[in-house]
Structure formats: structure tokens, C-alpha cells
Amino acid sequence: MHLFSAMFLLVMLAVMPTEALYPSPEEGWQIYSSAQDADGKCICTVVAPAQNMCNRDPRSRQLRQLMEKVQNISQSMEVLDLRTYRDLQYVRNTESLMKVVDGKLKVASENPRSLNPKGFQELKDKVTQLLPLLPVLEQYKADAKMILRLREEVRNLSLVLMAIQEEMGAYDYEELRQRVLLLETRLHSCMQKLGCGKLTGVSNPITVRASGSRFGSWMTDTMIPSSDNRVWSMDGYFKGRRVLEYRTMNDFMKGQNFVQHLLPHPWAGTGHVVYNGSLYYNKYQSNIIIKYHFRSRSVLVQRSLSGAGYNNTFPYSWGGSSDIDLMADENGLWAVYTTIPNAGNIVISRLEPQSLEVLQTWDTGFPKRSAGESFMICGTLYVTNSHLAGAKIYFAYYTNTSTYEYTDIPFHNQYSHISMMDYNPRERVLYTWNNGHQVLYNVTLFQVIKTSGD
């Protein structure tokens, strides 16, 4: 998710004079149909009249409701654009690679002497592996066309609303309402296809702020509405109790407008997560997980993670009492840890958020002390090979199939000492604490989009 673009846009809107942008609401309904900004994002703006105008006309109320739906659809389309852009770029790159490899294969087929038998077979096998991607590429193209059609329908609907402004009562409101409902249904169907995917790439790092000590953690809530932009920061890896809650990401960047929460029990490690209004963390010198509710400023529940090592028994390679790592993804709340019976190998447990009861557990077979950090995306655990410079994501364990594979996904470890790395499914970014710097990475997920006939 392009957080900095969004924040920059918000800042610009805050400082620009509204009189220059919008006519007075007293002039009646002012409707601005769909348009595109410099980044190609869909924009639909509606300015309502004063409440005392036409407030007795039921048709005006219907019109207002329809306009609000058009605006909501436009905003949903913008989210859809953001979610598909990076994945579509990956698919396009794959398509180019496939064409290049296919061209080389044709040259080799026409002139067999240009390749030795081993090289020819390797090239042929590579093409065979790429061929199943063709239907996926075609589906992405079809979905891109669907987005364009939805955008065009919003534009047309806005034009209809403009006509209603000029001639109230000349349009069948029921028909218009049905068109909006149909458009909402189609948009929902399209967005439902864009679910989980496989991690294929990590962007260059985006440094948000340099603050705190060498170790720590920072995060946003994965389950709250997108309008809530609070950021939480926890400096240090042991015996800490002070949690800072910033009102917005911009406030966090500036180090202003925050409140302090003093936890009743100190924490261990940096594997904390904020999930649905509560902080989940590992209690210092124990294998107890605590759920602390921010609004009530109280502990709602605490439960021992049976058999889990603690106090640097089974930490990540960087140490720091990182025995128990709590995280959240599209599938819920997770704990990553290990036990003596598992011989120090990473164990994944899915937790029930209310009771902290363990719902299901997987033994990955991967030694935790060999891992730099790890994070969950779509029920898959991704593990880095180091916390230092030159790190890459090189192991993935899939809980849906209880299988694993070794991967090779590089990323730039700019400050050479990562002590926290967590995925936020709402924003599709990785939050990291890197040697006293708070850093973001965008991720690319490869998704197989299914049609309704599949």
C-alpha cells in the first residue's frame, strides 16, 4: 500500500483552501463525475446542498443516498486499483520472461547445434514450467478490463445524476437504484477474487522514522477500519512497559500527538501485535501471552503457551528474548515459537483471539535459531536467513497443506540489524524495526484469480 502517497495527498488537501475547490453548497447539488488524477486513480466528488434545501422532497433524499453510493463505489475502486497494481506488474514481467524464453527455444529448435543436449532440455523444461501461467495472465487482463468497465459505469451513473439535478422527477428512481445495486454486486464479486496469494517480491525499504534504541517494535492494527490510522511503538526488547499510541502515521513521523499506556506486566522480545483494539504480547520471563485492551486499559486475558521456550531458550538468531513471536494475517492470530520436544524447530500455532486457546499447531522442522525473523502472510510462514546485511526470505511453510519449500526472495536490509518484522494484511506492507529505524516494505503477492465458473 502506498502509505506515503496517501499521507502526502492528505497533507495537500489539508492546506489547500476549500473555497477554490468547491462552490458554495447553497447553490444546490454540485456533482463532479468520475475523473482520474495524475496517478490514474478514480475520483468522484459530490458536494451536498444545505440541509434546509429540498429536505421535504423524498426524491432528493433518494438522490442523496444514490450519490453517497456512487462515492463509496469510487473509493472501493481506488482500493481495488491499489491491490491489483503490484500483482499485475509481476504478471506482466512474467509474461515478458516467458516470451523471451519461448523465443530462445524456437531458435534452438530451428538450429539444434546452437545448444548442447543438456542446455536444450533445461530450456525446454523452463518453458514447460511457464506455460501454466498463460491462463492466469489472461485472467489478469480480463480483470483489468473489468476495472475499466466499472470505472466507465460510475462515470455514466454520475452523468445520469447530473441530468436528475437539471430535471428532478424525470427519471425512474427505482431503475437507478437497481443499477447502483447491480454495480455494487459486481464490484464486490470482483474484489472477492482478490484474496490471498504467494509472496513473490519485496520492495525497496521506506524509512518512516529514526527513533528509539537498536531494538523495538512498531505497528498498526490489522483489524480496524482504514479511517483509523493509529500507530503504536514499543522501544526495547525486555522489561519494557511503556507503549506509545500515536493518532496518525504523520504524528508518528513527527513524534507528536501521542498517549502513553503503562502495561501492568513487562514484555519480553519484540514479537508483539495489535489486533482488533488489543495488544498481544509475551510476558517477561514466562511463556504467558497477555491480551491488553487499549480502550479499557486493562488485561482481558492471559494464558500460558504450553511448552513454549522463553527467556532466550529458543530465540531468533539476533537473540533479544525473541522466543515467542505473535503476529496476524488474513487468517487470524498466530504464535511462532518452539519447544524442547520439537528440538528447537519452529512451531506455528493459530490462536483464538478472545481466549488465546491454541486451535491448531504445525511443526515446520526448521531450526528457530537459524532464522533472522519471520512473518505470516495468508497462512504461510516466511522466514529470513539472517537479521544482518544480505538477508533474504528463503524458507516458506504452508499451513494449508503442511508443506514447505526453500525460496529466494531478496530484500534490502538497509540498516543491517532487523529485530522485528511483521506483515499487516490491511495495508499489505511489512513493518520492520531496523537498528533504531522504523521501516516499511511493500510486498507483491501472486494470486490465482478464479472465475465464477471455476
3-state SS track over the chain = CCHHHHHHHHHHHHHCCHHHCCCCHHHCCEEEEEEECCCCCEEEEEECCCCCCCCCCHHHHHHHHHHHHHHHHHHHHHHHHHHHHHHHHHHHHHHHHHHHHHHHHHHHHHCHHHCCHHHHHHHHHHHHHHCCHHHHHHHHHHHHHHHHHHHHHHHHHHHHHHHHHHCCCCCCHHHHHHHHHHHHHHHHHHHHCCCCCEEEEECCCEEEEECCCCCEEEECCCCCCCCCCCEEEEECCEEEEEEEEECCHHHHHHCCCEEEEEEEEEEECCCCEEECCEEEEEECCCCEEEEEECCCCEEEEEEECCCECCCCCCCECCECCCCCEEEEECCEEEEEECECCCCCEEEEEEECCCCCCEEEEEEEEEEHHHCCCEEEECCEEEEECCCCCCCEEEEEEECCCCEEEEEEEECCCCCCCEEEEEEECCCCEEEEEECCEEEEEEEEEECCCCCCCC
Residue 237 clears pLDDT 80, i.e. is over it: yes
Residue 412 cell numbers, joined: 534490502
Beta-carbon count within 10 A of 231 CB? 24
Per-residue model confidence (pLDDT) at position 306: 93
Per-residue model confidence (pLDDT) at position 104: 74
Q: Which residue has the higher pLDDT, 12 or 96?
A: 96
Least confident of 47-56, 66-75, 226-235, 436-445: 47-56
pLDDT over 70 for what percent of the chain? 64
Per-residue model confidence (pLDDT) at position 170: 46
Per-residue model confidence (pLDDT) at position 117: 74
Per-residue model confidence (pLDDT) at position 118: 74
User: In the structure, what pLDDT confidence band is assigned to residue 342 with cuts at 50, 70 and 90?
Assistant: very high
User: In the structure, what pLDDT confidence band is assigned to residue 14 with cuts at 50, 70 and 90?
Assistant: very low
| 292 vs 273: CA distance, rounded Å | 11
Beta-carbon count within 10 A of 447 CB? 22
User: In the structure, what pLDDT confidence band is assigned to residue 308 with cuts at 50, 70 and 90?
Assistant: very high
Average pLDDT over residues 208-227: 90
Per-residue model confidence (pLDDT) at position 34: 38
At 129-171, the pLDDT tens digits run: 666 666 666 666 766 777 777 777 777 777 777 766 665 554 4
Residue 36 clears pLDDT 50, i.e. is over it: no
Residue 406 cell numbers, joined: 526453500
Per-residue model confidence (pLDDT) at position 370: 95
Residue 292 clears pLDDT 70, i.e. is over it: yes
At 81-134, the pLDDT tens digits run: 665 665 566 666 666 667 777 777 777 777 777 777 777 777 777 777 666 666
Fill in the amino acid letter for 94. Answer: T
* Kind of pairing between the strands at 374-377 and 198-202: unpaired
Residue 174 clears pLDDT 80, i.e. is over it: no
Give pTM, 2 decimals: 0.60
Per-residue model confidence (pLDDT) at position 85: 66
Average pLDDT over residues 430-446: 94
Beta-carbon count within 10 A of 58 CB? 9
Least confident of 15-29, 286-300, 302-316, 360-374: 15-29
Average pLDDT over residues 358-386: 96
Fill in the amino acid letter for 97. Answer: L
Considering the chain, what is the average pLDDT of its residues? Answer: 78
Residue 367 clears pLDDT 50, i.e. is over it: yes
Least confident of 27-41, 147-161, 277-291, 433-447: 27-41
Residue 8 clears pLDDT 80, i.e. is over it: no
Average pLDDT over residues 420-431: 93
Least confident of 14-23, 414-423, 431-440: 14-23
Least confident of 139-148, 196-205, 222-231, 330-339: 139-148
Report, in angstroms and rounded to the nearest whole number, the Rg of the chain calculated over CA atoms.
26
